[in-house]
A and B are shown apart, each in its own frame.
Chain A
């Protein structure tokens, strides 16, 4: 926020250019065929094929619809592993069935060796040759690989619209989570790596409360308050004393790394290493809103994000507090000399930062799952958003977040989804090359 300039049309043009480049030239509407015809497989059929009870096992049948009839690939190698270790493997028979014994309940990785697929067979989605997170809770579990023609590139307009909307949703979540990072940078110059853990904190507190029976909306409200309190504690107990010592910013950055590592691992000890799902995230179904297929949660997430971001803008633009925050970000000495209590403003910014990060974490948790390192995983997107928009510029962070979110989701439609995050980061690096100060940042000044 070092410098506020009116938005210029060409800045929007740049953003639009990125979006247009990713938009399909022409959206082809085509019917997807029913790939499942005749390929369904049940446990009873598995037991039958196995010639007896399955025991502790991961099982399944490879099946592809060819010329309208199901056909089964033979001799395909399937491997089950846990962590780095291989647990077992099997080769499919003429009926396409595989059964692999496992030591017991747990989470496994099941991979299909694509090289061994006979001619004419292929995975629908080439990325899904490994099912990374197969959870076995009741002794045995089916592992389903989808075979059939790759239908990517045959999507209709609704797919593009929906993906765009999901990208917008992700972007808004990133914006809510990142705006605090940008504000804190604006008033203190600190790039706070431990911001990620403020995000996780909110999600975990909301989970714990709702798990203990507190109604979800109340759990969210309490978690946001707790996040604000944690933000305040961060400033009072750690960063303010360090500022008083005149600690160099680069050293403060290293301290924040230490804090981030410590907090993340404490979360792992307390919350456990597994990801969990909010009750409120269960049973969501997509309905059509025009060309967009979205769940109620999607709409809620976007609505809440927009409301919060608008409220923040009003706070920054229209209130005395907002003016004081902007003045402090602009020039601390000048702000102090014109009677602004800089330390108090910084504390308030930390409260806002903690509360928004917590809310961002909850919204992110609602759209995926809650995990001890979810914030850390999101951190690069947050950094990308903040830098893309212009370090320290809160509005820039919002714009940057939306670009990052949309680019990330949309790119999955055109290139391998494994690269979608890569594309977002490449966009960041490209923007820095063309416009080092970010989309809305002001030109670097020396002296």
Chain B
């Protein structure tokens, strides 16, 4: 990027950013006696790609779910675009411009690809049970949505599949559909939960291209990722979690050389034991 807004930001955990879209304070989530997430302070910069990394069991997905309203924290506050949104339902957050995807894709199998897309349209008049009965009230909006969906499907190379049931798509195509569908909501912040998991290398490149394109169109992206190589190539900023805490932040180069991050990864991978990720 020609003019990096994060250029002057110091690489340390909890550092303030010049233009944060999301600001998190003291978020905690406990299961029984176990603290799964304990994030003191975190700011996510607007208009860049931020990635959230960490070894298995670091609490990334739990943290991510908390932010999107899919789980309730035991303590903590956070703001999105300046509004306090702790305790807000996921659908309200989505309407405020925070849209998420899922690690295990949630495409709607018994609906066509096009219906998957149309569903995501904002403020649909026909979604009222009363107006839904009167076709005239929503026909025009539906046509606009169809045009928009078509453009997005072309962009994600899914236009040929528009009439197929989403269950008939390949795993990679489902990832693409989920991302395209998220864009139907005109989001300000796109939250991607391990978008590259279980995807072949060719598709990974294409997905990475789409993620970069989101940023270039002015959206903010926060994504959870496990694979270090992926992160290093496209992230503008990296946040590393371990044992529920943010242990380091910085540009990819800062993180790659960070001793704590390396230790966190090695410490867990050492001995090859499976540590069940807390969901």
Contact A446 B276 (CB under 8 A): no
Known contacts A5-B32, A447-B61, A447-B65: A334-B70 contact under CB 8 Å: no
A337 within 8 A of B: yes
- Distance of A248 from chain B, by nearest CB (Å): 11
**A3 to chain B: closest residue by CB:** B32
Interface size class of B (residues with CB under 8 A): 10 to 19
In the docked arrangement, what's the CA distance between A447 and B61, Å?
Answer: 8
A445 touches B276 (CB 8 A): no
Contact partners of A337 in chain B: CB under 8 A: 274
Closest beta carbon of chain B to A386's beta carbon, Å:
23
Tell me which residues across on chain B come within 8 A of A284, comparing CB atoms.
none
Q: Is the CB of B279 within 8 A of A445?
A: yes
Q: CB of A331 within 8 A of chain B? A: yes
**Interface assignment of B71: CB less than 8 Å from any CB of chain A:** yes
Q: Which residues of B contact A3 (CB under 8 A)?
A: 32
Verify A447–B274 contact, CB threshold 8 A.
no
Q: For the complex, give the distance between the alpha carbons of A446 and B29 in Å.
A: 13
Contact with B along A413-425 (1 / 0, CB 8 A): 0000000000000
Q: Given A5-B32, A446-B70: A331 and B276 within 8 A (CB)? A: yes
Which residues, 292 to 350 on A, are CB-close (under 8 Å) to B?
331, 334, 337-338
- In the complex, which residues of chain B have a beta carbon less than 8 angstroms from the beta carbon of A446? 65, 70-71
B65 neighbours in A (Cβ, 8 Å): 446-447
- Interface-centre pick from B62, B64, B71, B102 (highest chain A CB count, 10 A): B71
Are B279 and A447 in contact, CB atoms less than 8 angstroms apart? yes
CB neighbours of A331 from chain B (8 A): 276
Cβ distance B222 to chain A, nearest Cβ, rounded Å: 15
Q: How large is the interface on A (under 10, 10 to 19, 20 to 34, 35 or more residues)?
A: under 10
> A432-447: which residues lie under 8 A (CB-CB) from chain B?
445-447
CB pair B276–A447 under 8 Å, yes or no, is no
Q: Hey, which chain B residues are within 8 Å of A447, CB to CB?
A: 61-62, 64-65, 70-71, 102, 279
Minimum distance in angstroms from A442 CB to a CB of chain B: 9
Taking the nearest CB of chain A, how far is it from the CB of B76, in angstroms? 17
Chain A residues whose C-beta falls within 8 Å of the C-beta of B102 in the assembled complex: 447
- Give a binary string over B113-139; 1 marks a CB under 8 Å from any A CB, 0 the rest: 000000000000000000000000000
Q: Which B residues touch A5, using CB under 8 A?
A: 32
Best-surrounded residue of A3, A331, A334, A445 (most CB of chain B within 10 A): A445
Residues in chain A near residue B274, CB distance under 8 A: 337-338
Q: Which residues of A contact B32 (CB under 8 A)?
A: 3, 5
* B58 CB → nearest A CB, Å: 15
Q: From residue A105, how far is it (CB to closest CB) to chain B in Å?
A: 57
Q: A5-B32, A445-B71 are in contact. Are A334 and B276 (CB under 8 A)?
A: yes
Question: In whole angstroms, how far apart are the Cα atoms of A331 and B31 in the complex?
Answer: 15
Q: Tell me, rounded to whole Å, the shortest Cβ–Cβ distance linking A4 to chain B.
A: 9
Distance between Cα atoms of A337 and B275 in the complex (Å)? 12
The CA of A338 and the CA of B65, in the complex, are separated in Å by 26
CB neighbours (8 Å) of B64 from chain A are 447
Chain B contacts to A: CB under 8 angstroms? 32, 61-62, 64-65, 70-71, 102, 274, 276, 279
- What would 5 more interface pairs be, CB under 8 Å, given A446-B70, A447-B64, A447-B279? A5-B32, A334-B276, A337-B274, A446-B71, A447-B71
CB pairs A–B below 8 angstroms (12 shown): A331-B276, A337-B274, A338-B274, A445-B279, A446-B65, A446-B70, A446-B71, A447-B62, A447-B65, A447-B70, A447-B71, A447-B102
- Return the 7 tightest CB-CB contacts between A and B, nearest first: A447-B65, A446-B70, A447-B70, A446-B71, A334-B276, A447-B71, A5-B32
